[in-house]
Chain A
Amino acid sequence: MRRLARLLLLLYPKSFRARFEAEFLEAFEWHRARVPTGWEGRLRLTALMLRDTLAALPRAHSDGPRRMVHAARGLVADGRHAARGLARSPLFAWSAVASLALGIGANTAVFSVANAVLLQPLPYADPGRLTIVWNHFTTSEQTRLPLAPVEVAELAEEPGLFESVGGVWATSATVTDPEGTRIQVPAALVTPNFLGVLGIAPALGRNFLSELGNERRDEAPQGVLISHELWRSTFTSDPAVLERSLVVDGVSMPVLGVLPEGFRLIFPPDGSIPERLDVYRSLPWNLRDLPVGIRYLRVVGRLAPGVDLREGQVAVDAVSARVRASYPEIASNGDSFSIHPLQADAVREARPVLQVLLAAVGLFLLLASANVASLALARASARTGEMAVRRSLGASNGRIAGLVFWESLLIGVAAAVIGLAVGSLGADFLWSMRPEGIARVDSVSVDGTVVLFTMGVSTLAVLLFGWAPVRWTARSGVATTLRSAGARIVGARTSAREWITVGQVAVSLVLLCGAGLLARTLGELSRADVGFAPERLVSFKVALSEQLFPMDEERWRIASEIERRVQALPDVSATGATSHVPFGTWANWSGAAAPDGTPEAEVEAFMVDHRSVTPGYFGALGMTLESGRFFSSTDDGASEPVVVIDRVLADRAFPGEDAVGRRIHPTRYRGGEFTPTPATVIGVVGSVRDVSPSRPSRGQVFWPFAQSARWELTWVVRSQGGPGASLERVREEIRAVSPDLAVAAVAPLEELVREANAGTRFVALLGGVFALLALGLAGLGLYGVIVYSSSIRTAEFGLRRVVGARPRDILSAVIVDGLRLGALGTIFGIVAAMGLNRFLGSLLFGVSPTDAITMLLAAGVLLAVMLFASLVPALRAMRVDPQVAMRG
């Protein structure tokens, strides 16, 4: 209880405590003796003390306001004085403001991106309850797979889990605009309720009707929803669009609605769902009518009110157990669901990138603050005399510290304002070079949160660089300062600046190492063998829609006709087509391809990517044949099923043996259905990386297009004159084959490969920029320190010269001084880099986070800059005339 009295006592003014503390406590004891012992007494005593404090405090502090007014007047005067002081040293003021504004601006820019991507809620109704459900094949350890329609139906029926749950699959469609031009657009196949799950209502018209599990078992609603963009381009924003139809894949479909402007699907990049889909078609109402074993739906569920993720996971576990028990088609894969917040999952790949960038700009700000602190210290030492005079005239320590802090505050405010401007420009810059893979980066803007962040960062910066000069000024006593001629106390102060410089060198080394590692990663990625030769290759899509060309033979005839005609063009050296081009965006086609005689339970160990290719494809892409042969025109629909497999699958299915001539059981697409079909391996090709240069193939099986005619084809054309040289001729040839065909998504393959590295390039470039700026700041910092210390030692140098030192000795003395700091900083920096670069982990490829070469290189660059920074003042010191120096 006595502690309570002591605590309450702290609330009283100092003067009161000084005089009455003992008596106050004695009176408290008297009160304590008057109440009964036990908790009731304690309670009464506590109440009495609190009431007493409340009553007494206002009167105890009644002279407070007057003092505050007085203090405020002092503050304003100090502020004005500080502003005048800064105006008298514009060089100091501007260099401090500039380096700080750069640091604050960089933080603001990166934060505004992080804010938009990581922190802003998704633009859907009540986005906190939106989740994404992934499938996990427990038998083959494959994760993040789509779900089968029947699984979505089961999820929807689980009581108390989702308020609503729907799925989407991205594909493409050929639409015909009113002028009769065919264009290929990204399209979606969705469960009827999908947009409702997101809480999206069309801007015009209506959503698809019905819900999952509706008892009506009719066909899918035959109508389409279209994007605002398509409405504008194809229907010229016709408000009567709802009475019109859109020809989709040759079939005229009524337009049911137009989606809101700017509506985007925000999915993780590996979900293969583009942000903008132009045409939405609906799956049938009853998902149980659809094939059970094909999984293609990316599933979004809105959790029922009050259900949290943990409960959600328990519930989806129950559903997946039920699904495994009731559907033998699914049991062998061991489907198991996992549930994640949609937002967190969508930005899951961007998160580490942004975190690394935030850390880098954070370090950069630290460095900029250190620079300003160093400058401010130098300034404080130059003003030692002024402060001593103030002190002897009666200024208190607090008042003097306040004066110095005012300068820091003014610099900080100016830097914050400029930094915010720099930051919003920087955010635009980041936006302009954003990598494709970062979801939601469209919405970057400098909003209230960003401004708040900038203010916070600036305050931090002011505290960081402001405390050093304040503390130093407050510490140096009157007597010492007035007595000293200046030179003798330099030691202490220089050492504070020296330590700051050491810190700067260390921080810039960390940044340099990080940037170096990322640069080497980029190099490794661009050198990485992707398994084919992307140079001079152009790719484009041609959809052979099922509506237009329902027969497999028809699609095959068209594909071989195109191949023949394009191959005949004079500039074209090779061409071919595939259902899935490497580094393309088309949703993957995967399934099991086990060798003959594999037990049912082990089939899933042979999950591989399936592709369907024309005979010219392997040659056109530049893939290597390791044994057997490529496809030929005789591998057609009438002959025995044959496949080519890649090295990864060959090694897995037939370790140590020749795969050619053996039989495996892949999935084939034929007659509109996917069916497991045994096939003979006729060739083995080198593996191709087709997601990222850093991600090895997980095994591939290739069907001849003649035996498995998928409806979407991506052509690759290798031309003598570089990618796209004969594109117009190619288009003409394709139109000549059929006027219904549309060419879309034209891209040089090299660009597709490069785009896969865009995220890394983005971080590496920014990291490099920050590292260079950091290097510059550290160099300036060291330069300042050396200039200062050698100017202090001018007399010493003069004396040395007089007693016989050569100019060279002076030169090396100064340089050694600088390098000593540089070396110390480098050592600290390497230690820090070893610890911190681990966090780059997921962004690196082909280089270890503690790569010695990178570290040595970074240290070398740093020391060279340090050498240069101390060389200039050293040369000046060397040229000092001994006589002048001694006299000075």
Chain B
Amino acid sequence: MAFSQEDTVTTRPLASTNFYVLLALADRERYGLDVAEDVARRTNDAVVLGPGSLYNTIKKMLAEGLIEETTPKDRGEGREHDPRRRYYRITRAGRAALTSEASRLAVLVEAARDKKVLPAR
């Protein structure tokens, strides 16, 4: 029996740092430090990406095609951009990976609720 491309992607969990970065970029493009700030804010400072981890992850994800760097042309008029920074946005592959990881986590969270690890909604 053959797996589809989709299946193989969903069966491989995303590294947590990658997940945080993708999540941060899910709603809009951001520069590196902005990503770190977003992650820290969303996790109530439980996850703080150090500079090495942050940019190393960004570098790898660029190479894997999960995110891409935007050019000034890509950016819409009127949005505030600091010209000295490099901005990244999520690619289609990145969004697919994010979605599948989020659903995988959702399944797990559901299982936790069933087992009364978390209070029922």
Contacts and interface: CB of A to CB of B under 8 A. Distances in A.
Interface of A: 5, 8, 12, 16, 19-20, 23-28, 30-31, 34, 48-49, 51-53, 55-57, 59-60
Given A19-B59, A23-B85, A52-B52, 8 more contacts: A23-B33, A24-B51, A25-B51, A27-B36, A27-B55, A31-B48, A48-B48, A52-B51
Interface of B: 31-33, 36-37, 48, 50-56, 58-60, 85-86
Contacts of B50: 27, 31, 48-49, 51-53, 55-56
Nearest to B84: A22
Contacts of B32: 20, 23, 27
A53 B33 contact: no
21 contacts: A16-B56, A19-B55, A19-B59, A20-B32, A20-B58, A23-B32, A23-B55, A23-B85, A24-B51, A25-B51, A31-B50, A31-B51, A48-B48, A52-B50, A52-B51, A55-B50, A56-B52, A56-B56, A57-B52, A59-B56, A60-B52
A55 B31 CA distance: 22
A616 B119 CA distance: 123
B86 to A, nearest CB: 7
Contacts of A55: 50, 52-53
B114 to A, nearest CB: 34
Contacts of A53: 50, 52
A724 B82 CA distance: 106
A9 to B, nearest CB: 9
Given A49-B50, A52-B50, A55-B50, A27 B33 contact: yes
A593 to B, nearest CB: 85
A5 B55 contact: no
B51 A5 contact: yes
Nearest to B54: A27
Contacts of A51: 50
Interface centre among A8, A31, A49 (most CB of B within 10 A): A31
B55 A16 contact: yes
Contacts of A19: 55, 59
Given A16-B59, A23-B33, A23-B86, A28 B53 contact: no
Please classify the interface of chain B as helix (H, G, I), strand (E, B), loop, or mixed, using the class held by over half of its residues: helix
Nearest to A19: B59
Contacts of A30: 33, 36-37
A452 B58 CA distance: 48
Contacts of B48: 31, 34, 48
Contacts of B33: 23, 26-27, 30
A28 B51 contact: yes
A55 B56 CA distance: 10
Contacts of B56: 12, 16, 56, 59-60
Interface centre among B31, B52, B55, B59 (most CB of A within 10 A): B52
Given A23-B33, A30-B37, A59-B60, A12 B51 contact: no
A56 B37 contact: no
B100 to A, nearest CB: 22
A60 B52 CA distance: 9
A51 B53 CA distance: 10
Contacts of B52: 8, 12, 24, 49, 52-53, 55-57, 60
Contacts of A59: 56, 60
Contacts of A56: 50, 52-53, 56
A17 B24 CA distance: 24
A312 B55 CA distance: 62
Interface centre among B37, B54, B85 (most CB of A within 10 A): B54
A23 B49 CA distance: 13
Nearest to A58: B56
B57 to A, nearest CB: 8
B35 to A, nearest CB: 10
A548 B36 CA distance: 103
A41 to B, nearest CB: 14
A667 to B, nearest CB: 85
Contacts of B51: 5, 23-25, 27-28, 31, 49, 52
Contacts of A28: 51
Interface centre among B50, B53, B54, B85 (most CB of A within 10 A): B50
A59 B55 CA distance: 11
A12 B55 CA distance: 11
Nearest to B36: A27
Nearest to A51: B50
Interface centre among A27, A30, A52 (most CB of B within 10 A): A27
Contacts of B86: 23
A20 B59 contact: yes
A319 B20 CA distance: 79
B34 to A, nearest CB: 10
- The 7 A-B residue pairs with the shortest CB-CB distance in the complex, in nearest-first order: A52-B50, A56-B52, A27-B51, A20-B55, A56-B56, A52-B52, A24-B51
A6 to B, nearest CB: 12
